[in-house]
Structure 1
Amino acid sequence: MDIVLYQFLTEVPLAAAIWSVLLVLALTALAVLVARPERDRPAAVEPPARPAAPPAPAAADLRRYAEEVAVAAAGAAQNARRRRAAWTAAQDAAERAWQAYDEAETAARRFRDAGALPTPHTPRTPAEYAARERWLHHAATAAHLRGELSIGQLCDVFARRGGWDPRLHPVEQEVVLARAVRDGRLARYRAAAARERAAWGDAELAAGAARALAAEAYAAAERARPAHAPTTSATASGRVLGITGWRPPRPAPAR
Protein backbone atom coordinates (compact mmCIF):
# COMPACT_ATOMS: atom_id res chain seq x y z
CA MET A 1 0.00 0.00 0.00
CA ASP A 2 2.85 2.31 0.82
CA ILE A 3 4.54 1.47 -2.46
CA VAL A 4 1.43 2.36 -4.43
CA LEU A 5 1.04 5.58 -2.56
CA TYR A 6 4.69 6.39 -3.14
CA GLN A 7 4.44 5.79 -6.86
CA PHE A 8 1.31 7.95 -7.07
CA LEU A 9 2.91 10.78 -5.20
CA THR A 10 6.05 10.72 -7.34
CA GLU A 11 4.46 10.21 -10.81
CA VAL A 12 1.51 12.63 -10.58
CA PRO A 13 3.69 15.77 -10.41
CA LEU A 14 5.73 14.52 -13.36
CA ALA A 15 2.60 13.97 -15.43
CA ALA A 16 1.30 17.35 -14.42
CA ALA A 17 4.57 18.96 -15.49
CA ILE A 18 4.42 17.20 -18.88
CA TRP A 19 0.83 18.32 -19.45
CA SER A 20 1.75 21.84 -18.46
CA VAL A 21 4.54 21.93 -21.03
CA LEU A 22 2.26 20.58 -23.75
CA LEU A 23 -0.39 23.13 -22.85
CA VAL A 24 2.16 25.96 -23.03
CA LEU A 25 3.32 24.75 -26.46
CA ALA A 26 -0.26 24.55 -27.74
CA LEU A 27 -1.03 28.05 -26.51
CA THR A 28 2.15 29.37 -28.11
CA ALA A 29 1.31 27.81 -31.49
CA LEU A 30 -2.23 29.19 -31.30
CA ALA A 31 -0.92 32.66 -30.54
CA VAL A 32 1.43 32.51 -33.52
CA LEU A 33 -1.37 31.45 -35.86
CA VAL A 34 -3.65 34.23 -34.61
CA ALA A 35 -0.91 36.85 -34.99
CA ARG A 36 0.05 35.86 -38.64
CA PRO A 37 -3.01 34.38 -40.39
CA GLU A 38 -1.81 35.33 -43.87
CA ARG A 39 0.49 32.31 -43.97
CA ASP A 40 -2.52 30.01 -44.15
CA ARG A 41 -4.48 32.16 -46.66
CA PRO A 42 -4.20 31.56 -50.44
CA ALA A 43 -2.25 34.11 -52.34
CA ALA A 44 -4.34 36.85 -53.95
CA VAL A 45 -4.74 36.62 -57.73
CA GLU A 46 -3.16 39.60 -59.41
CA PRO A 47 -4.98 41.12 -62.43
CA PRO A 48 -3.37 40.45 -65.82
CA ALA A 49 -1.03 43.11 -67.01
CA ARG A 50 -2.47 45.52 -69.63
CA PRO A 51 -0.89 45.27 -73.06
CA ALA A 52 1.57 47.97 -73.76
CA ALA A 53 0.42 50.77 -76.06
CA PRO A 54 1.80 50.57 -79.58
CA PRO A 55 4.79 52.80 -80.10
CA ALA A 56 4.29 56.14 -81.79
CA PRO A 57 5.19 56.35 -85.50
CA ALA A 58 8.82 56.92 -86.07
CA ALA A 59 9.93 60.36 -87.21
CA ALA A 60 11.46 58.87 -90.35
CA ASP A 61 8.14 57.31 -91.36
CA LEU A 62 6.34 60.61 -90.84
CA ARG A 63 8.88 62.47 -92.95
CA ARG A 64 8.71 59.88 -95.71
CA TYR A 65 4.90 60.04 -95.78
CA ALA A 66 5.01 63.86 -95.81
CA GLU A 67 7.38 63.79 -98.79
CA GLU A 68 5.19 61.35 -100.71
CA VAL A 69 2.07 63.41 -100.11
CA ALA A 70 3.91 66.58 -101.12
CA VAL A 71 4.92 64.99 -104.42
CA ALA A 72 1.33 63.87 -105.04
CA ALA A 73 0.03 67.36 -104.19
CA ALA A 74 2.49 68.93 -106.64
CA GLY A 75 1.36 66.56 -109.39
CA ALA A 76 -2.29 67.28 -108.63
CA ALA A 77 -1.66 71.03 -108.77
CA GLN A 78 0.04 70.65 -112.15
CA ASN A 79 -2.85 68.58 -113.43
CA ALA A 80 -5.29 71.25 -112.20
CA ARG A 81 -3.38 73.90 -114.15
CA ARG A 82 -3.50 71.77 -117.29
CA ARG A 83 -7.23 71.22 -116.87
CA ARG A 84 -7.77 74.92 -116.36
CA ALA A 85 -5.79 75.73 -119.52
CA ALA A 86 -7.85 73.18 -121.46
CA TRP A 87 -11.07 74.70 -120.15
CA THR A 88 -9.89 78.21 -121.09
CA ALA A 89 -9.15 77.02 -124.63
CA ALA A 90 -12.56 75.33 -124.84
CA GLN A 91 -14.22 78.52 -123.59
CA ASP A 92 -12.45 80.58 -126.29
CA ALA A 93 -13.48 78.06 -128.95
CA ALA A 94 -17.10 78.22 -127.78
CA GLU A 95 -17.00 82.02 -127.90
CA ARG A 96 -15.67 81.98 -131.48
CA ALA A 97 -18.32 79.43 -132.47
CA TRP A 98 -21.01 81.66 -130.99
CA GLN A 99 -19.76 84.71 -132.90
CA ALA A 100 -19.69 82.71 -136.14
CA TYR A 101 -23.24 81.49 -135.53
CA ASP A 102 -24.40 85.02 -134.73
CA GLU A 103 -22.96 86.29 -138.03
CA ALA A 104 -24.60 83.42 -139.94
CA GLU A 105 -27.94 84.10 -138.23
CA THR A 106 -27.74 87.77 -139.20
CA ALA A 107 -26.97 86.86 -142.82
CA ALA A 108 -29.77 84.28 -142.94
CA ARG A 109 -32.21 86.84 -141.56
CA ARG A 110 -31.14 89.35 -144.22
CA PHE A 111 -31.60 86.83 -147.00
CA ARG A 112 -34.91 85.79 -145.52
CA ASP A 113 -36.15 89.36 -145.60
CA ALA A 114 -34.94 89.69 -149.17
CA GLY A 115 -36.79 86.52 -150.08
CA ALA A 116 -40.04 88.24 -149.27
CA LEU A 117 -39.65 90.19 -152.52
CA PRO A 118 -40.93 88.60 -155.72
CA THR A 119 -38.48 86.34 -157.50
CA PRO A 120 -37.15 87.81 -160.75
CA HIS A 121 -38.78 86.30 -163.83
CA THR A 122 -36.42 84.41 -166.12
CA PRO A 123 -37.16 82.08 -169.05
CA ARG A 124 -37.37 78.46 -167.96
CA THR A 125 -35.05 76.94 -170.55
CA PRO A 126 -32.50 74.12 -170.29
CA ALA A 127 -29.74 76.73 -170.54
CA GLU A 128 -31.28 78.69 -167.64
CA TYR A 129 -31.48 75.58 -165.44
CA ALA A 130 -27.90 74.65 -166.32
CA ALA A 131 -26.79 78.16 -165.35
CA ARG A 132 -28.68 77.93 -162.07
CA GLU A 133 -27.02 74.60 -161.28
CA ARG A 134 -23.57 75.98 -162.08
CA TRP A 135 -24.22 78.95 -159.81
CA LEU A 136 -25.28 76.67 -156.95
CA HIS A 137 -22.25 74.45 -157.35
CA HIS A 138 -19.92 77.44 -157.42
CA ALA A 139 -21.55 79.10 -154.39
CA ALA A 140 -21.56 75.86 -152.39
CA THR A 141 -17.92 75.13 -153.24
CA ALA A 142 -16.89 78.65 -152.19
CA ALA A 143 -18.81 78.26 -148.91
CA HIS A 144 -17.05 74.93 -148.27
CA LEU A 145 -13.64 76.52 -148.88
CA ARG A 146 -14.51 79.26 -146.38
CA GLY A 147 -15.40 76.59 -143.84
CA GLU A 148 -19.11 77.39 -143.89
CA LEU A 149 -20.25 74.06 -145.35
CA SER A 150 -18.98 70.64 -144.43
CA ILE A 151 -17.87 68.09 -146.99
CA GLY A 152 -21.07 66.15 -146.33
CA GLN A 153 -23.22 69.18 -147.08
CA LEU A 154 -21.24 69.84 -150.26
CA CYS A 155 -21.84 66.26 -151.38
CA ASP A 156 -25.56 66.77 -150.73
CA VAL A 157 -25.49 69.82 -153.01
CA PHE A 158 -23.99 67.89 -155.91
CA ALA A 159 -26.24 64.88 -155.25
CA ARG A 160 -29.39 67.07 -155.10
CA ARG A 161 -30.46 65.77 -151.70
CA GLY A 162 -31.09 67.30 -148.32
CA GLY A 163 -33.31 70.08 -149.69
CA TRP A 164 -30.88 71.24 -152.39
CA ASP A 165 -32.67 71.99 -155.67
CA PRO A 166 -30.52 73.35 -158.51
CA ARG A 167 -33.65 74.39 -160.42
CA LEU A 168 -34.38 77.21 -157.98
CA HIS A 169 -33.57 80.79 -158.85
CA PRO A 170 -30.22 82.01 -157.49
CA VAL A 171 -32.07 84.38 -155.15
CA GLU A 172 -33.90 81.43 -153.60
CA GLN A 173 -30.73 79.34 -153.56
CA GLU A 174 -28.96 82.07 -151.58
CA VAL A 175 -31.65 81.81 -148.94
CA VAL A 176 -31.26 78.01 -148.76
CA LEU A 177 -27.46 78.33 -148.67
CA ALA A 178 -27.56 80.94 -145.87
CA ARG A 179 -29.84 78.71 -143.80
CA ALA A 180 -27.55 75.74 -144.33
CA VAL A 181 -24.53 77.78 -143.20
CA ARG A 182 -26.45 79.01 -140.16
CA ASP A 183 -27.56 75.50 -139.19
CA GLY A 184 -24.04 74.14 -139.56
CA ARG A 185 -22.57 76.88 -137.37
CA LEU A 186 -25.29 76.32 -134.80
CA ALA A 187 -24.40 72.63 -134.61
CA ARG A 188 -20.71 73.50 -134.23
CA TYR A 189 -21.49 75.98 -131.47
CA ARG A 190 -23.54 73.43 -129.56
CA ALA A 191 -20.71 70.91 -129.81
CA ALA A 192 -18.20 73.53 -128.63
CA ALA A 193 -20.47 74.47 -125.71
CA ALA A 194 -20.73 70.79 -124.71
CA ARG A 195 -16.93 70.49 -124.80
CA GLU A 196 -16.64 73.62 -122.67
CA ARG A 197 -19.00 72.23 -120.03
CA ALA A 198 -17.08 68.94 -119.96
CA ALA A 199 -13.76 70.80 -119.64
CA TRP A 200 -15.20 72.90 -116.82
CA GLY A 201 -16.28 69.80 -114.92
CA ASP A 202 -12.84 68.21 -115.36
CA ALA A 203 -11.13 71.40 -114.18
CA GLU A 204 -13.36 71.57 -111.10
CA LEU A 205 -12.63 67.96 -110.17
CA ALA A 206 -8.89 68.45 -110.67
CA ALA A 207 -8.92 71.63 -108.56
CA GLY A 208 -10.83 69.88 -105.76
CA ALA A 209 -8.38 66.98 -105.75
CA ALA A 210 -5.44 69.38 -105.70
CA ARG A 211 -6.89 71.31 -102.76
CA ALA A 212 -7.49 68.11 -100.78
CA LEU A 213 -3.96 66.83 -101.41
CA ALA A 214 -2.48 70.21 -100.54
CA ALA A 215 -4.30 70.20 -97.20
CA GLU A 216 -3.15 66.63 -96.49
CA ALA A 217 0.43 67.54 -97.44
CA TYR A 218 0.37 70.46 -95.02
CA ALA A 219 -1.04 68.28 -92.21
CA ALA A 220 1.59 65.59 -92.87
CA ALA A 221 4.34 68.19 -92.84
CA GLU A 222 3.08 69.52 -89.50
CA ARG A 223 3.08 66.01 -88.02
CA ALA A 224 6.61 65.36 -89.25
CA ARG A 225 7.91 68.75 -88.07
CA PRO A 226 10.04 68.69 -84.86
CA ALA A 227 8.45 70.29 -81.82
CA HIS A 228 10.96 73.18 -81.75
CA ALA A 229 10.68 73.99 -85.47
CA PRO A 230 8.63 77.08 -86.45
CA THR A 231 5.31 76.46 -88.20
CA THR A 232 4.28 77.94 -91.51
CA SER A 233 0.96 79.21 -92.70
CA ALA A 234 -1.50 76.65 -93.97
CA THR A 235 -2.50 79.05 -96.71
CA ALA A 236 1.01 79.20 -98.08
CA SER A 237 1.43 75.41 -97.94
CA GLY A 238 -1.95 74.50 -99.44
CA ARG A 239 -2.35 77.21 -102.06
CA VAL A 240 -3.97 75.83 -105.21
CA LEU A 241 -4.99 77.69 -108.31
CA GLY A 242 -8.75 77.97 -108.20
CA ILE A 243 -11.12 77.81 -111.15
CA THR A 244 -12.73 81.20 -111.50
CA GLY A 245 -14.34 83.20 -114.22
CA TRP A 246 -16.54 80.46 -115.60
CA ARG A 247 -19.18 81.67 -117.98
CA PRO A 248 -22.16 79.46 -118.78
CA PRO A 249 -22.60 78.78 -122.51
CA ARG A 250 -24.84 81.15 -124.41
CA PRO A 251 -28.25 79.64 -125.02
CA ALA A 252 -28.87 79.20 -128.74
CA PRO A 253 -32.13 80.80 -129.89
CA ALA A 254 -34.95 78.41 -130.60
CA ARG A 255 -35.49 77.80 -134.28
Structure 2
Amino acid sequence: MNILIIEDEIKAARSLENLILKLRPETKIIAKIQSVEAAIDYLSNSLSPDIIFMDIQLSDGISFDIFKSVKIVCPVIFCTAFGEYAMDAIKENGIDYLLKPFSETDLKNAFEKVDNFKNFFQKTSENNLIQLIQKISGEETTKKSFLVFKNNKYLTVKTADIAYIYINYTSPTIVTFKGEHFDVNQSLDQLAAQLSDKDFFRLNRQYLISFSAVKEVEHYFARKLYIKLTVPTDEKLLIGKEKTTIFLNWLEDR
Protein backbone atom coordinates (compact mmCIF):
# COMPACT_ATOMS: atom_id res chain seq x y z
CA MET A 1 0.00 0.00 0.00
CA ASN A 2 1.41 3.38 -1.05
CA ILE A 3 0.59 6.29 1.24
CA LEU A 4 1.05 10.01 0.67
CA ILE A 5 1.29 12.39 3.64
CA ILE A 6 0.37 16.05 3.13
CA GLU A 7 1.34 17.87 6.33
CA ASP A 8 3.17 21.17 6.78
CA GLU A 9 4.55 20.42 10.25
CA ILE A 10 7.67 18.27 9.85
CA LYS A 11 7.48 16.74 13.34
CA ALA A 12 3.79 15.91 12.89
CA ALA A 13 4.47 14.31 9.50
CA ARG A 14 7.32 12.22 10.93
CA SER A 15 5.21 11.16 13.90
CA LEU A 16 2.34 10.16 11.60
CA GLU A 17 4.74 8.22 9.38
CA ASN A 18 6.13 6.28 12.37
CA LEU A 19 2.64 5.48 13.62
CA ILE A 20 1.50 4.32 10.18
CA LEU A 21 4.52 2.04 9.78
CA LYS A 22 3.95 0.65 13.27
CA LEU A 23 0.38 -0.32 12.45
CA ARG A 24 0.95 -1.23 8.81
CA PRO A 25 4.66 -2.14 8.38
CA GLU A 26 4.03 -3.38 4.83
CA THR A 27 3.06 0.11 3.65
CA LYS A 28 5.31 2.54 1.83
CA ILE A 29 5.31 6.29 2.48
CA ILE A 30 5.90 7.53 -1.06
CA ALA A 31 6.21 11.23 -0.15
CA LYS A 32 5.69 13.82 2.59
CA ILE A 33 4.48 17.15 1.20
CA GLN A 34 4.10 20.45 3.05
CA SER A 35 2.14 22.81 0.78
CA VAL A 36 -0.88 23.07 -1.51
CA GLU A 37 1.32 24.00 -4.47
CA ALA A 38 3.67 21.05 -3.97
CA ALA A 39 0.72 18.66 -3.54
CA ILE A 40 -0.87 19.81 -6.80
CA ASP A 41 2.43 19.37 -8.63
CA TYR A 42 3.01 15.90 -7.18
CA LEU A 43 -0.52 14.61 -7.81
CA SER A 44 -0.53 16.00 -11.35
CA ASN A 45 2.66 14.17 -12.31
CA SER A 46 2.72 10.96 -10.27
CA LEU A 47 0.75 7.77 -9.94
CA SER A 48 -2.14 7.98 -7.52
CA PRO A 49 -1.39 6.69 -4.00
CA ASP A 50 -3.65 4.18 -2.31
CA ILE A 51 -4.42 6.53 0.60
CA ILE A 52 -3.70 10.18 1.34
CA PHE A 53 -3.32 11.49 4.89
CA MET A 54 -4.00 15.21 4.55
CA ASP A 55 -3.76 18.07 6.99
CA ILE A 56 -6.28 20.82 6.23
CA GLN A 57 -4.34 23.97 7.09
CA LEU A 58 -1.09 23.93 5.12
CA SER A 59 1.77 26.41 4.82
CA ASP A 60 0.28 28.17 1.79
CA GLY A 61 -3.45 27.70 2.26
CA ILE A 62 -6.28 25.25 2.84
CA SER A 63 -5.83 21.75 1.44
CA PHE A 64 -9.33 21.79 -0.07
CA ASP A 65 -7.80 23.98 -2.81
CA ILE A 66 -5.89 20.90 -4.00
CA PHE A 67 -9.17 19.34 -5.14
CA LYS A 68 -9.87 22.33 -7.36
CA SER A 69 -6.76 21.64 -9.45
CA VAL A 70 -6.42 17.86 -9.49
CA LYS A 71 -8.90 15.02 -9.41
CA ILE A 72 -8.11 12.74 -6.47
CA VAL A 73 -9.43 9.22 -6.93
CA CYS A 74 -8.17 7.55 -3.75
CA PRO A 75 -9.51 7.68 -0.18
CA VAL A 76 -8.41 10.64 1.93
CA ILE A 77 -8.02 10.66 5.72
CA PHE A 78 -8.02 14.24 6.98
CA CYS A 79 -5.94 15.14 10.03
CA THR A 80 -6.47 18.52 11.67
CA ALA A 81 -6.70 20.35 14.94
CA PHE A 82 -9.76 22.28 13.81
CA GLY A 83 -13.14 20.57 14.02
CA GLU A 84 -15.04 23.17 12.01
CA TYR A 85 -13.78 21.68 8.75
CA ALA A 86 -15.42 18.29 9.28
CA MET A 87 -18.29 18.63 6.80
CA ASP A 88 -16.07 20.08 4.08
CA ALA A 89 -13.64 17.20 4.56
CA ILE A 90 -16.38 14.61 4.12
CA LYS A 91 -17.37 16.20 0.81
CA GLU A 92 -13.81 15.88 -0.53
CA ASN A 93 -13.33 12.07 -0.65
CA GLY A 94 -13.03 12.03 3.13
CA ILE A 95 -13.09 8.47 4.44
CA ASP A 96 -12.28 9.58 7.98
CA TYR A 97 -11.56 12.74 9.95
CA LEU A 98 -8.93 12.57 12.70
CA LEU A 99 -8.92 15.43 15.17
CA LYS A 100 -5.45 16.22 16.51
CA PRO A 101 -4.03 15.00 18.78
CA PHE A 102 -5.24 11.56 17.74
CA SER A 103 -4.25 8.22 19.22
CA GLU A 104 -2.95 4.97 17.79
CA THR A 105 -6.45 3.56 18.25
CA ASP A 106 -7.92 6.41 16.18
CA LEU A 107 -5.51 5.66 13.35
CA LYS A 108 -6.17 1.94 13.58
CA ASN A 109 -9.90 2.59 13.29
CA ALA A 110 -9.30 4.82 10.27
CA PHE A 111 -7.38 2.05 8.51
CA GLU A 112 -10.15 -0.42 9.29
CA LYS A 113 -12.68 1.98 7.80
CA VAL A 114 -10.63 2.18 4.59
CA ASP A 115 -10.34 -1.62 4.47
CA ASN A 116 -14.08 -2.04 4.91
CA PHE A 117 -14.71 0.60 2.27
CA LYS A 118 -12.50 -1.17 -0.28
CA ASN A 119 -13.92 -4.61 0.47
CA PHE A 120 -17.51 -3.46 0.19
CA PHE A 121 -17.05 -1.69 -3.12
CA GLN A 122 -14.56 -4.16 -4.61
CA LYS A 123 -14.90 -4.57 -8.38
CA THR A 124 -13.19 -6.80 -10.87
CA SER A 125 -11.93 -3.92 -13.02
CA GLU A 126 -8.84 -1.81 -12.34
CA ASN A 127 -9.11 1.32 -10.19
CA ASN A 128 -12.02 -0.20 -8.30
CA LEU A 129 -12.80 2.92 -6.27
CA ILE A 130 -12.73 5.46 -9.09
CA GLN A 131 -16.38 5.27 -10.13
CA LEU A 132 -17.61 5.46 -6.54
CA ILE A 133 -15.46 8.47 -5.70
CA GLN A 134 -16.55 10.18 -8.91
CA LYS A 135 -20.13 9.91 -7.70
CA ILE A 136 -19.19 11.31 -4.31
CA SER A 137 -17.23 14.25 -5.67
CA GLY A 138 -19.44 14.94 -8.69
CA GLU A 139 -18.71 15.02 -12.41
CA GLU A 140 -18.46 18.81 -12.39
CA THR A 141 -15.04 18.42 -10.74
CA THR A 142 -13.50 16.78 -13.81
CA LYS A 143 -10.08 18.04 -14.72
CA LYS A 144 -9.80 21.26 -16.71
CA SER A 145 -6.08 21.01 -17.53
CA PHE A 146 -2.96 18.87 -17.10
CA LEU A 147 0.47 19.96 -16.02
CA VAL A 148 3.10 18.44 -18.35
CA PHE A 149 6.88 18.65 -18.56
CA LYS A 150 8.67 19.03 -21.89
CA ASN A 151 11.98 20.51 -22.96
CA ASN A 152 12.84 21.33 -19.33
CA LYS A 153 9.65 23.39 -18.95
CA TYR A 154 6.36 22.91 -17.13
CA LEU A 155 3.41 23.57 -19.42
CA THR A 156 -0.36 23.50 -18.94
CA VAL A 157 -2.46 21.63 -21.49
CA LYS A 158 -6.16 22.46 -21.34
CA THR A 159 -8.52 19.51 -21.48
CA ALA A 160 -10.44 21.23 -24.28
CA ASP A 161 -7.26 21.20 -26.40
CA ILE A 162 -6.79 17.42 -26.16
CA ALA A 163 -7.73 15.46 -29.30
CA TYR A 164 -6.79 12.06 -27.93
CA ILE A 165 -4.53 10.24 -25.49
CA TYR A 166 -2.82 7.00 -26.44
CA ILE A 167 -0.32 4.53 -25.06
CA ASN A 168 3.06 5.24 -26.63
CA TYR A 169 5.12 2.14 -25.84
CA THR A 170 4.41 1.89 -22.11
CA SER A 171 3.24 5.38 -21.04
CA PRO A 172 0.39 7.63 -22.21
CA THR A 173 0.92 10.56 -24.55
CA ILE A 174 -1.45 13.51 -24.87
CA VAL A 175 -2.01 14.71 -28.43
CA THR A 176 -3.56 18.15 -28.94
CA PHE A 177 -5.60 19.45 -31.86
CA LYS A 178 -2.44 21.30 -32.95
CA GLY A 179 -0.59 17.99 -33.20
CA GLU A 180 1.54 18.56 -30.09
CA HIS A 181 2.66 15.50 -28.13
CA PHE A 182 3.16 15.46 -24.34
CA ASP A 183 4.13 12.42 -22.28
CA VAL A 184 2.45 12.04 -18.89
CA ASN A 185 3.34 9.99 -15.81
CA GLN A 186 -0.12 8.59 -15.16
CA SER A 187 -1.81 5.48 -16.48
CA LEU A 188 -4.54 5.70 -19.10
CA ASP A 189 -7.02 4.47 -16.49
CA GLN A 190 -6.08 7.32 -14.16
CA LEU A 191 -6.35 9.88 -16.95
CA ALA A 192 -9.75 8.54 -18.01
CA ALA A 193 -10.99 8.81 -14.43
CA GLN A 194 -10.15 12.52 -14.38
CA LEU A 195 -11.97 13.34 -17.63
CA SER A 196 -15.65 13.70 -18.38
CA ASP A 197 -17.31 10.56 -19.77
CA LYS A 198 -19.41 12.85 -21.92
CA ASP A 199 -16.40 14.47 -23.59
CA PHE A 200 -14.00 11.51 -23.79
CA PHE A 201 -14.49 7.88 -24.81
CA ARG A 202 -12.22 4.92 -24.07
CA LEU A 203 -12.02 3.13 -27.43
CA ASN A 204 -9.76 0.34 -26.21
CA ARG A 205 -6.74 -0.29 -23.99
CA GLN A 206 -4.61 2.09 -26.04
CA TYR A 207 -6.82 5.05 -27.00
CA LEU A 208 -8.95 7.65 -25.23
CA ILE A 209 -10.53 10.09 -27.69
CA SER A 210 -12.28 13.45 -27.47
CA PHE A 211 -15.76 13.90 -28.91
CA SER A 212 -14.58 17.10 -30.61
CA ALA A 213 -11.89 15.13 -32.45
CA VAL A 214 -14.26 12.66 -34.12
CA LYS A 215 -14.40 13.42 -37.86
CA GLU A 216 -16.03 10.36 -39.42
CA VAL A 217 -17.30 6.94 -38.41
CA GLU A 218 -17.47 4.15 -41.01
CA HIS A 219 -18.68 0.57 -41.00
CA TYR A 220 -15.81 -1.92 -41.14
CA PHE A 221 -15.39 -5.66 -41.50
CA ALA A 222 -16.96 -8.01 -38.94
CA ARG A 223 -19.47 -5.34 -37.81
CA LYS A 224 -16.71 -3.13 -36.46
CA LEU A 225 -16.57 0.66 -36.68
CA TYR A 226 -13.66 2.63 -38.12
CA ILE A 227 -13.21 6.01 -36.41
CA LYS A 228 -11.35 8.82 -38.15
CA LEU A 229 -10.18 11.78 -36.10
CA THR A 230 -9.40 15.33 -37.15
CA VAL A 231 -5.86 14.69 -35.91
CA PRO A 232 -4.18 11.71 -37.64
CA THR A 233 -3.30 8.61 -35.62
CA ASP A 234 -0.52 6.11 -36.33
CA GLU A 235 -2.95 3.22 -36.60
CA LYS A 236 -6.57 2.59 -37.55
CA LEU A 237 -9.00 3.17 -34.71
CA LEU A 238 -11.47 0.29 -34.66
CA ILE A 239 -14.27 -0.59 -32.26
CA GLY A 240 -15.47 -4.17 -31.96
CA LYS A 241 -19.14 -5.03 -32.45
CA GLU A 242 -19.66 -5.45 -28.69
CA LYS A 243 -18.99 -1.71 -28.14
CA THR A 244 -20.50 -0.20 -31.28
CA THR A 245 -23.89 0.53 -29.73
CA ILE A 246 -22.29 2.12 -26.66
CA PHE A 247 -20.07 4.28 -28.85
CA LEU A 248 -22.91 5.40 -31.15
CA ASN A 249 -25.05 6.28 -28.13
CA TRP A 250 -22.13 8.32 -26.79
CA LEU A 251 -21.93 10.22 -30.09
CA GLU A 252 -25.65 10.88 -30.07
CA ASP A 253 -26.03 11.85 -26.41
CA ARG A 254 -24.98 15.48 -26.62
Please report the TM-score for the alignment, with normalisation by the length of structure 2. 0.20
Hey, which of these two has a bigger chunk of helix by percent?
1
Please report the TM-score for the alignment, with normalisation by the length of structure 1. 0.20
Larger radius of gyration: 1
Hey, which of these two has a bigger chunk of strand by percent?
2
